[in-house]
Amino acid sequence: MSSKLVAPHGGKGLVCALLEGAEREAELKKAAGLKQIEITARAKGDLIMMGIGGFSPLSGFMTKADWKGVCENFQMADGTFWPVPITLDVTAADAAGIKVGDEIALVRKGETFATMKVTEKFEMTEADKRWECEKVFKGEGEESVGDKFWEIAPKDHPGVIMVLAQKDVNLAGPVKVLSEGEYKKEYPGVYLKPAETRAMFDERGWANVAALQLRNPMHRSHEYLAKIAVEVCDGVLIHSLIGNLKPGDIPADVRIEAIKILIDHYFVKENVINAGYPLDMRYAGPREGLLHATFRQNYGVNNMLIGRDHAGVGDFYGLFEAQQIFDRVPVTGDPSKDLLCKPMKIDWTFYCHKCDGMASLRTCPHTKEDRVILSGTKLRKALSDGAPVVDHFGREEVLVRLRAYYAGLTEKVEVKMQGAASGAAM
């Protein structure tokens, strides 16, 4: 049976750098004798995505020309669309001992994740890092206006903090991935590779698939978005980030369990798949929305649900900037280079007492006082503070699980409320 699904991004099919069996064993043996480079959690997630085909057509870390093109105009050096730099940083001391053409081993906490053939080394000055931050993380929200960005972002924006903390040299080159980390073991049946989701969609006869991106447990607004997509598509992939988040966010195992509870009680199971992917959040707002659509295309998805403040942090981004950015991406007319996964742009959603149900600004004529404003941050804050959760905010079966998680915490992280989450801008 031929697949009706959207082609993987980049026109080369699924590009998978993961080695298995005897080939992997031989490469692991070789890696033991190579120069060992300790990598960040972010690079670990990027490597796994390159391994499983999630980052097709990438087969390694970006060159300076790719980095510059991606930051400047969303395109790698060969014209292929890509919205966020995928780079590997090393110390100047490590870089001095590595020549172009050398092979190195990429390790994290004692585990070898990949080998890499170095094709290029390029310096990242403070000015380069600041330029990357302005291109990738600066938005149109209140905290990005004028000088405010550089007053607030270096201490409050996790993505900016991460880029500014990068070491001084980037290495480029293809990788051979040797590990999928802990994900297979810790999230069986949920951690799925692009080839696996595509096979599941094909088996169900799906051609038109939407993805819902989650880094929070599903509240009623998420549920509503997923159900809108179920109505107009063949099915929905509820796709949760299972890599690292910022302090105060709810861990992946709790979120996955909460989603399963919701699906069991409130969805037709044949129309939805609950899965996870192994990246860390970059909190790049609109650019990250584009990244979510790019790699979802590799998973077989052609519609990306984009709601209010997608992948945002603080008040750095406009409420619907992550929707608007899709209208500004370059289109070459070559399907092997362009982004084929399209946004499903949904307006601000909420529960309305007068409408007696879920609604959006496009469908509800009533006032702010009639509405229950829903946001993951607002939910986390109420649960963290032990405060009551407003009626119609979440499903009780899910809230029971989340309250149990918060009750078991020994240390509380302060959850900062941004304007968007409070509903002040409505």
Active site residue ranges:
215-216
Q: Are 284 and 49 in contact (CB under 8 A)?
A: no
**Closest among 17, 171, 42, 20 to 103, alpha carbons compared:** 171
Q: For the residues of 228-258, what is the DSSP string, one character each?
A: HHHHHSSEEEEEEE-S---TTSPPHHHHHHH
Q: Is 396 helix (H, G, I), strand (E, B) or coil?
A: helix
Q: Are 367 and 354 in contact (CB under 8 A)?
A: no
Query: Which secondary-structure segment (H or E) carries 275?
Result: strand 272-277
H helix intervals, 19-176: 21-31, 41-52, 64-73, 92-96, 126-136, 148-156, 158-164
Work out the burial of residue 405: count CB atoms within 10 Å of its CB; fewer than 13 is exposed, 13-18 middle, 19 or more buried.
middle
* Cα–Cα dist 271/419, whole Å: 34
Q: Are 119 and 195 in contact (CB under 8 A)?
A: no
* Cα–Cα dist 250/258, whole Å: 11
